[in-house]
Amino acid sequence: MDLQLHGRVAAVAAASKGLGKAVALAMLQEGARVAICSRDPARIQAAAEDLRAATNGEVFPIVADLTTVEGCQHFIRSTVDHYDKLDILVTNAGGPPSGPADSFDDSAWQAALALNLLSTVRMVSEALPYLKGSDQGRVIAITSISAKQPLNNLVLSNATRAGVIGYIKTLANELGHTGITFNAVLPGWTRTARVDELLQNLAKARGLTPEQVEAGITAAIPARRMGRPDEFAAVVTFLASGRASYLNGVALQIDGGLSQSLL
């Protein structure tokens, strides 16, 4: 199947590593031209070099802090200045801290909202005029399975990511007539370096090995394993493709069957 991504311009946020970088790689493999961002100049430059070496594709690295209005605007404006158009926006950022629901003060809530909800709103707002000029406009918001099924000790993620789904579904409803599609993807346990680090930390805290912690987690996943970043990226790339033109307003979990929600 030709995914009709050749020559398309994709802005993939927070892509120096992990899920964002995997999405950028998959899109480059399909012939898209890609802009990526993160906060650290050396890391985003290194990621761009890795991606070019793996695909021979066009990658434009941008330094931007997505917790600020200016950072979100800078990411989108620099992408358009460089490529002269924008077809696809993949919103993404780091994860908020974990902790019990009653342990966070107002500034922690403000920070989580900026990182995981407002960054999405700000990138989309800046990108909309350009996406409206594309005949294959796509917005794909990376959130978390926590938006469908709250995770223990992760209230900041549970609350802010549900907001992203509400925002994306509203856009799908109000702007579906423009031809742009708006969808959200909800990763479950996906084996990035961040998850490796988390397994190490949980193992230390519980006096177990990382393998034992992982076995406890995967026992609850119908697939009995964690996902790979390339499996996640393949789904996002399909949603960005010309073939997904009638998929709009979906909140799609990519979790090996972990979420037990009926909808």
Q: Which residues of this chain interact with ligand NAD, rule CB under 6 A? A: 14-20, 37-39, 64-67, 92-95, 115, 142, 144-145, 187, 189-190, 192-195
Residue 43 or 243: the one with the smaller Cβ distance to ligand NAD is 43
Residue 198 or 208: the one with the smaller Cβ distance to ligand NAD is 198
> CB 120 → ligand NAD: shortest distance, Å?
11
Helical segments of the chain, H only: 18-29, 41-55, 69-83, 106-112, 119-132, 155-175, 193-206, 210-218, 229-240
> CB 214 → ligand NAD: shortest distance, Å?
12
Closest CA to 256 of 197, 189, 160: 189
User: Residue number with the shortest CB distance to ligand NAD?
Assistant: 18
Tokens 């690295």 appear where?
A: 61
Closest CA to 88 of 122, 127, 118, 115: 127
How many CB atoms neighbour CB 257 within 10 A?
12
Which phi and psi angles does 38 have, rounded to 5°?
-165, 180
Residue 96 or 175: the one with the smaller Cβ distance to ligand NAD is 96
> CB 6 → ligand NAD: shortest distance, Å?
26
Residue 182 or 189: the one with the smaller Cβ distance to ligand NAD is 189
According to DSSP, the β-strands at 181-187 and 33-38 are unpaired
> CB 74 → ligand NAD: shortest distance, Å?
11
Q: Could you give the C-alpha distances from 98 to 95, 101, 226, in angstroms and in order? A: 9, 9, 20
> CB 203 → ligand NAD: shortest distance, Å?
16
SS3 helix, strand, coil % of the chain, rounded to 5? 50, 15, 35
> CB 38 → ligand NAD: shortest distance, Å?
3
Q: Which residues of 63-73 are buried (b: 16+ CB within 10 A; e: fewer)?
A: bbbbbeeebbb
Residue 111 or 247: the one with the smaller Cβ distance to ligand NAD is 111
Q: What is the dihedral of CA 118, 123, 126, 132, to 10 degrees?
A: -120
Residue 35 or 195: the one with the smaller Cβ distance to ligand NAD is 195
Residue 118 or 180: the one with the smaller Cβ distance to ligand NAD is 118
> CB 186 → ligand NAD: shortest distance, Å?
7
- Contacts of residue 4, defined as CB under 8 A and 6 or more positions apart, other chains included, come to 136, 241, 242, 243
